[in-house]
């Protein structure tokens, strides 16, 4: 059920032109509340939406630390990029922050 909610929110918030990046081999989404991991193949529509959101880099000044959060790992051949995905279910908004640790 949670996976369906994530997919629906991502589709609504980040719909648009999909971008294909050959260097991303797969995407992992980890629910930080319970540790459940979802693997998203690179050629799926969900992966395109996540990569498109990463590339938009819109800024916000809102405090998003108390929101429902996931860790998004973009796996590449020899590297990976880690982001935090925050959901505001009340306002139907998602925020993405790059993990600099």
CA dihedral 72, 48, 25, 81 (to 10 degrees): -30
**Looking at the predicted structure, is the pLDDT value of residue 17 above 50?**
no
Q: What is the pLDDT of residue 15?
A: 44
pLDDT value of position 8: 63
The helix or strand, by DSSP H or E, that contains position 83, with its residue range, turns out to be strand 80-88
pLDDT digits (tens, 9 = 90+) for 31-81: 888 999 999 888 888 888 787 777 776 677 788 888 888 888 888 888 888
Range of the domain at 68: 2-98
Number of domains present in the structure of the chain: 1
């Amino acid at each position: 059920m949670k996976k369906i909610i994530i997919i629906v929110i991502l589709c609504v918030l980040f719909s648009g032109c999909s971008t294909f990046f050959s260097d991303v081999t797969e995407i992992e989404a980890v629910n930080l509340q319970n540790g459940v991991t979802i693997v998203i193949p690179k050629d799926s529509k969900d992966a395109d939406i996540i990569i498109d959101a990463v590339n938009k880099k819109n800024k916000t000044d809102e405090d998003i630390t108390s929101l429902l959060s996931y860790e998004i790992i973009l796996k590449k051949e020899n590297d990976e990029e880690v982001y935090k995905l925050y959901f505001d279910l009340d306002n139907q908004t998602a925020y993405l922050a790059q993990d600099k640790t």
